[in-house]
Structure 1
Amino acid sequence: MSVARAALRGFARPSSSSTLATTTVVPLARRLATAAPTKPPTAVVLMNLGGPKDLDAVHPFLLNLFSDGDLIPIPFQKYAARVIAARRTPKIQEQYAQIGGGSPIHAWTERQGKMLEKRLDELSPASAPHKSYIAFRYAAPLTPDTIAEMQKDGITRAVALTLYPQYSCSTTGSSLNELWRNLKEMDPQEKIQWSVVDRFPTHPGLVEVFARHIEDSLKTYPPEERDSVVLLFSAHSLPMDIVNRGDPYPQEVAATVARVMDRLGHKNPFRLIWQSQVGPRPWLGPKTDAVLEGYARLGQKNLLMIPIAFVSDHVETLFEVDLEYGHLAKEKGLTGYKRVESLNADPLFIEAMADIVKSHIAENKPVSTQLPLRCPMCTNEKCGESKRFFQNQRL
């Protein structure tokens, strides 16, 4: 029996007239229904780079990307971004055409968010209900659109959750800077209180799901060859000027790899390699394609690729690793070249993310101890202002 019915039992008088019963019951039911206002949900904002949904969205995506001075600082940025985006659009459209005509990252992120909502409602009833939002850096839904949606929903408490396990100023840092810039304009009274999950490179759940995916892939090799398969942990590279500035990304990626190898018992040889270099500047290496060529020359045949810095399939996994590097591997005789399945919507990954957010909310601190620390050679004052903004949030 509902609370409303239980309350009504003491007030409704017996009467032969149904009209009298109706006039007595309805106003009281309405009062009971409005007595306790609905609590606004706790927002969990999933931040990632994003990707074009279709081929028409490739040019806007590239224009946003090359306009980001936190990621690619170039002279005359506004003008140069237009030129570079226009020049690269046809080539990038060809790449997306080969993986189905667009990036699946939005679909995967949306699914991750819905699964995360459900699990958080179970794990953290005190902060329930939870509602997920997506804030991509370079593709829809963009950060200002997400903030507007949250304001429409009456959100007053939000967790900015990066989907980059390892922190870099060019990824999570750029997304937080963009969030801060838009909040200054769209929520100057700070009606939404924010906290930030800025990294989780060694979380046990993340380590476990990577390890299990690797174990599943190793089972596809002949038993007598399984322990000699070389594990190649591949992550998106960084320009060396960003690395030398003090960006923590390389060591955090290495920390993830070290924990995963500990979990696997170091049964296989491994290397950490770096993919997706663009342009003439020096980048962090060794380059993935050069590693494949080198191991082919050295007689290694069984190479297992592990995208260790990505949590969803997108162009870097589906085109670059599977097709581009896959073609190179075939050309060089690497007959045992394979890739582990991405984390995507693996329930174990969702469980890890739910545990991260639950612990973060329970801790009731706006940021980690690492986030306020700027790179020692940082010259971007906006980065410092952004970090202070989130550090000073009152929860």
Structure 2
Amino acid sequence: MGGPQKIEHVHDYLNQIMTDRDMIQLPFAQDHLGPWIAKRRTPEVQKKYQEIGGGSPILKWTNTQGELLCKRLDHVSPNTAPHKHYVAFRYVPPYTKDAFEELERDNVARAVIFSQYPQYSCATSGSSFNAIYTHFKDRNLPNGLRLSVIDRWPTHPLLVKCFADLIRKELAQINKEKRNNVIILFSAHSLPLKTVNRGDSYPSEVGATVQLVMEELGFCNPYQLVWQSKVGPLPWLGPFTDEAIKDYVKKGKKNFVIVPIAFVNEHIETLHELDIEYCKELAHEVGVEEIRRVPAPNDHPLFIEALTSIVHNHLQNKVTVGEKFLNRCPHCTNANCYHSKKWFSEVCNH
């Protein structure tokens, strides 16, 4: 999705999210209700960005990850070198169109569309892929350009090892007497239940990541998958992260490690929602004894190796687009999704 780099970009960012039906389905009059919600929420969200330094670091981290990935790829896959990364955000520059215009100017022969959401959701990855289809709907692909898709990677062994390593380091900071009783809360962005019931694979893919990370850790601690960042009036997937902390404390469980299991770099939902709202304010309010937040993967060496391994294997593989990606949710009614997947099937297998 990207994130506003400056306070004055917040309203436009929110407005684009709230009017994008691939991202959020409001109960009625989205073209009017969406802008109203964006305008109403802007001052509150601007205040949050001010509290984390005045803007989102997501572009900085994405570029860092892209540069490190390409450097490693040049080394491990010299036959496909040189490699270059392009960032395509949904709601802030560089937009999808910016990335593809730059790619065309560079006369790129092969482009891998690599979703940076490890777990696929129609609202996140799906929305981004639909934006690529929309960009090319009324124009041809550049001559000679071949496209392929990496749409999800929730169970990649190096992603699992990276999260496990980050968790071990936080647990090691906790007093030995408390350590084994610390509850590991794996927190991921929630989804509206309407989206889940449509058949979205995101909850099961996040659950798969959690299970493998705990297996890597030898199931060393009690753990729970929880959900954050609910927006709007509709029912969303729970239990919610903040409510889980409150109720665990009532049960006498007062020590936690929070893991942002679906985020690959720091942004407002880690730096403000988890760090300030939950680990600082809520923890103080309800009487938490100790709470630590695991960093996002960012530039962790195992994470860069995970990205490198995924792209390298993809370049060696003849499969250009996965069947799971091309198959729509059983209750999907989004015509844009139908046309998008049909387009990817045609251009990636051309």
Q: Distance in 1 between matches of 2:196 and 2:30?
A: 21
Q: Distance in 2 between matches of 1:366 and 1:264?
A: 33
Q: Which runs of 5+ in 2 are unaligned?
A: none
Matched residue, 2:283: 329
Matched residue, 1:352: 306
1:301-316 superposed matches below 5 A? 301-316=254-269
Q: Which runs of 5+ in 1 are unaligned?
A: 1-48
Matched, 1:200 2:153: yes
Counterpart of 1:357 in structure 2: which amino acid? V
Q: Distance in 2 between matches of 1:77 and 1:194?
A: 33
Q: Are 1:366 and 1:390, in contact at CA under 8 Å, matched by a contact in 2?
A: no
Q: Distance in 1 between matches of 2:115 and 2:141?
A: 23
Matched residue, 2:340: 386
Q: Distance in 2 between matches of 1:147 and 1:181?
A: 12
Q: Distance in 1 between matches of 2:139 and 2:48?
A: 36
Secondary structure of residue in 1 paired with 2:180? helix
Matched, 1:220 2:150: no
Q: Distance in 2 between matches of 1:200 and 1:169?
A: 15
Matched residue, 2:98: 145
Q: Distance in 2 between matches of 1:360 and 1:388?
A: 21
Counterpart of 1:70 in structure 2: which amino acid? D
Secondary structure of residue in 2 paired with 1:134? coil
Matched residue, 2:34: 81
Counterpart of 2:72 in structure 1: which amino acid? R
Q: Are 2:148 and 2:321, in contact at CA under 8 Å, matched by a contact in 1?
A: yes
How far does residue 73 in structure 1 lie from its aligned partner after superposition? 2.2
- Deviation string, structure 1 residues 114-151 (Cα, Å, up to 9, x no partner): 00110111111121111000001111111111111111
Between the two proteins, what is the percent identity of the paired residues? 48
Q: Distance in 2 between matches of 1:83 and 1:230?
A: 39
Matched, 1:284 2:234: no
Counterpart of 1:128 in structure 2: which amino acid? A
Q: Distance in 2 between matches of 1:53 and 1:185?
A: 31
Which segment is superposed worse, 185-194 or 333-342? 185-194
Equivalent of 2:23 in 57, 71, 79? 71
Equivalent of 1:105 in 53, 58, 70? 58
Distance 1:268 1:149, change over 3 A: same
Matched residue, 1:155: 108
How far does residue 224 in structure 1 lie from its aligned partner after superposition? 2.0
Counterpart of 1:345 in structure 2: which amino acid? D
For normalisation by structure 1, the TM-score amounts to 0.86
Q: Distance in 2 between matches of 1:195 and 1:222?
A: 48
Q: Distance in 2 between matches of 1:88 and 1:196?
A: 35
Counterpart of 1:244 in structure 2: which amino acid? N
Equivalent of 1:129 in 82, 105, 109? 82
Counterpart of 2:308 in structure 1: which amino acid? A
Equivalent of 2:122 in 169, 187, 196? 169
Q: Distance in 2 between matches of 1:123 and 1:130?
A: 11
Distance 1:223 1:151, change over 3 A: same
Matched residue, 1:10: none
Matched, 1:50 2:2: yes
How far does residue 391 in structure 1 lie from its aligned partner after superposition? 2.1
Equivalent of 1:90 in 43, 64, 67? 43
Higher-Rg structure is 1
Q: Are 1:111 and 1:345, in contact at CA under 8 Å, matched by a contact in 2?
A: yes
Q: Distance in 1 between matches of 2:39 and 2:143?
A: 38
Counterpart of 2:88 in structure 1: which amino acid? A
How far does residue 191 in structure 1 lie from its aligned partner after superposition? 4.2
Q: Distance in 2 between matches of 1:186 and 1:60?
A: 26
Matched, 1:296 2:249: yes
Secondary structure of residue in 2 paired with 1:73? coil
Q: Are 1:193 and 1:394, in contact at CA under 8 Å, matched by a contact in 2?
A: no
| Runs of 4+ more than 6 Å apart | none
Secondary structure of residue in 1 paired with 2:232? coil
- Deviation string, structure 1 residues 172-206 (Cα, Å, up to 9, x no partner): 00000001110223435664221111000000000
Matched residue, 1:61: 13
Equivalent of 1:275 in 221, 228, 250? 228
- Deviation string, structure 1 residues 10-67 (Cα, Å, up to 9, x no partner): xxxxxxxxxxxxxxxxxxxxxxxxxxxxxxxxxxxxxxx1000010111111111112
Q: Distance in 1 between matches of 2:70 and 2:128?
A: 22
Secondary structure of residue in 1 paired with 2:185? strand
Q: Distance in 2 between matches of 1:391 and 1:366?
A: 9
Matched length: 347
Q: Distance in 1 between matches of 2:110 and 2:139?
A: 15
Q: Distance in 2 between matches of 1:190 and 1:210?
A: 41
Distance 1:81 1:64, change over 3 A: same
Secondary structure of residue in 2 paired with 1:225? helix
Q: Distance in 2 between matches of 1:344 and 1:187?
A: 35
Q: Distance in 1 between matches of 2:142 and 2:117?
A: 29
Q: Are 2:104 and 2:142, in contact at CA under 8 Å, matched by a contact in 1?
A: no
Q: Are 1:167 and 1:199, in contact at CA under 8 Å, matched by a contact in 2?
A: yes
Matched residue, 1:41: none
- Deviation string, structure 1 residues 57-103 (Cα, Å, up to 9, x no partner): 11111111112110112343333332221111111000100000000
Matched residue, 1:261: 214
Which segment is superposed worse, 84-93 or 254-263? 84-93
For normalisation by structure 2, the TM-score amounts to 0.96
Which segment is superposed worse, 90-99 or 60-69? 60-69
